[in-house]
Amino acid sequence: MGRVYVKPSNLHTSRRSRTLVTKMNFNNSKGVANRWLTGLIKACSCVLFVGVSFPLLGQSSDIHDIEDSIIKIYTTQAAPDYFTPWRLLTPRQSSGSGTVIAGNQILTNAHVVANASYVQAQKHNDPQRYQARVLFISHEADLALITIDEPGFFSDLKALSIGELPNPLQEVSVYGYPIGGKSLSITKGILSRVEQQVYAHAGTYLLAGQIDAAINPGNSGGPVIVDKQIVGVVMQANSGGRTENLGYFVPPSIVRHVLKDSEDGNRDGFPDLGFRTQTLDSPAAKAAYGLGKDQDGILVIKVFENSPSRGFLTENDVILQIDDYQIADDGTIKLSEDLLTDYKHAIDLHHIDDTIAVTYSRQGKTNTIELIAQRAQESYSLVAGEQFDEVPEYLIYGGVLFVPLNMNLIKRWGNDWSRSAPVSLLQARNEWTSPQRREVVVALQVLAADVNLGYHDWRNWTVESLNGQLVQDFNHFSQLLRNNQDENVVFENKNGYQMVINHETALASEEQILNQYRIPTAHSVGLFND
């Protein structure tokens, strides 16, 4: 069973579009260390659902009150090419949906406007398109806010409010502008499940609602409506052959979190307390860690450096409760009598600098501590998650293209990246960061020249050390190269294989290599803060 974004109507599809069909609004599309999450992500398929559109003739007054608040969004996206990071991929045009909310804002998906170079908005039953401006993006929650500066655009539009999460089996309506026509489409279904899910846009793991309404390409960012209120934002669909008409939406608690986060214009995101856990379903394991028969909890297996939990929690502690949420042996908490979800949601409800109460057991003794929620670091995995609206980093030395390893690069191997990308790069996703190593540096390709003779066929090669110094991250690697005083530079991987480049020759041949391969600069802008 795979989880994919239903793409919107694509106006033009480039032959160079090679990224995943995982987004509702695009033909093309954070690295996570946990193997179970890796399995979920790589199970994605590219099947898109055909939805049922209900005509607007004879519609109820409720629909009349809502339809003008639903906006069609057109995006031109110019994403960077991580194989040749000084270039952009061919721009492409797509469309999605959004909803007018308070403050002259339109709520939509982050993947609708990610890497956007130009955005337009169109009202219901209005042929004119208006230039739009992105106000705020939460890639973690796959939500974005845009606005239109054209005077009077919002004057005749009603702002819809954010409602509450529907009850299980409650009927909902999905509004949007999918392919197959220009008019507003409405599909209906019921809420069948609420639990943590992998958000395909950024690989995050947040609460989501599941509905059986048919969701089509172009529905991205459209609202899920109950009683004229937004109870969710459509984001992705489920496919894989054994299920049909399963869609997922961002629930109200996550929407409100993002709206509050957006108030100061700075994106803080969701906090992370900096520990990892495993379930305690085994009675033998529970007894070994000092839990009584009436106690449930989860085992701490890793506490990261520089995290809120460091110095308070240790490996082999058992977390019993977060705030008022008791944690079961399988790692779930009760949202209500009818709803269970992963305990991480209790942390996701908080904002940066909030106090989070954590009750834990250590060698049979129970304690409660208060941790200050901090912004999650970019990644606790050696492979950073997919980035958007960012310029890739790179460095060319001796004709060798060096880049940091991230999910953007891995996904350039296409839809089947989990099988087609080099194994050494994929394996790094399952390794934790440490003070000694925070990032993987890759010799991506060799631009053939005299200076690198003997290595012309080397590619996708991870660099463990430079002249005997362990490489911590890409910035550290770049500084080591820039400050090198040795005659030769020796790059070595973890298996002991070496690439040797004469330093003087590398510097002397730089301009010629750049000109020969039509590369504007030897490194990405800002790499050395020059």
Residues 316 and 259 in one domain: no
Residue 474 clears pLDDT 60, i.e. is over it: yes
CATH of the domain at 71: 2.40.10.120
Annotation says 111 is catalytic: yes
Number of domains in the chain: 3
- pLDDT given for residue 36 in this prediction: 40
Distance CA 234, CA 194 (A): 14
- pLDDT given for residue 242 in this prediction: 54
Residues 412 and 489 in one domain: yes
Whether 207 is in a domain gets the answer yes
Residues 182 and 319 in one domain: no
Domain residues for the domain of 502 are 395-516
14-23 average pLDDT score: 34
pLDDT in tens, 337-366: 889 999 999 999 999 999 999 999 999 999
314-321 average pLDDT score: 97
C-alpha angle 520/455/86, rounded to 5°? 20
- pLDDT given for residue 13 in this prediction: 36
pLDDT in tens, 150-185: 999 999 999 999 999 999 999 999 999 998 788 899
The model carries a pTM of 0.85
Residues 285 and 191 in one domain: no
Whether 235 is in a domain gets the answer yes
Residue 214: pLDDT band with limits 50, 70, 90? confident
Reading the block at residue 300, the tokens are 């701490």
Distance CA 359, CA 333 (A): 14
Residue 34 clears pLDDT 80, i.e. is over it: no
Annotation says 117 is catalytic: no
Reading the block at residue 353, the tokens are 């600098």
Residue 141 clears pLDDT 90, i.e. is over it: yes
Residue 53 clears pLDDT 80, i.e. is over it: no
Residues 421 and 475 in one domain: yes
Whether 52 is in a domain gets the answer yes
Residue 18 clears pLDDT 90, i.e. is over it: no
Residues 360 and 407 in one domain: no
Of the residues 29, 111, 173, 350, which is catalytic?
111
Reading the block at residue 294, the tokens are 């009436």
Distance CA 415, CA 240 (A): 14
CATH of the domain at 305: 2.30.42.10
Residue 60 clears pLDDT 60, i.e. is over it: no
Residues 437 and 321 in one domain: no
Task: Specify the higher pLDDT residue, 530 or 348.
Answer: 348
Residues 98 and 135 in one domain: yes
Do 94 and 19 form a contact (C-beta atoms < 8 A)? no
Amino acid at 298: I
472-486 average pLDDT score: 97
The beta-strand segments (E) located in 185-245 are 185-199, 204-211, 223-226, 229-239
Residues 281 and 424 in one domain: no
Of the residues 94, 220, 379, 381, which is catalytic?
220
Residues 315 and 448 in one domain: no
Do 71 and 123 form a contact (C-beta atoms < 8 A)? yes
Residue 457 clears pLDDT 70, i.e. is over it: yes
Q: What is the DSSP letter of 26?
A: B
Distance CA 325, CA 425 (A): 38
pLDDT in tens, 366-421: 999 999 999 877 678 899 999 999 999 999 999 999 999 999 999 999 989 999 99
Whether 383 is in a domain gets the answer no
Phi then psi dihedrals of residue 381, to 5 deg: -95, 155
Residue 23 clears pLDDT 50, i.e. is over it: no
Whether 388 is in a domain gets the answer no
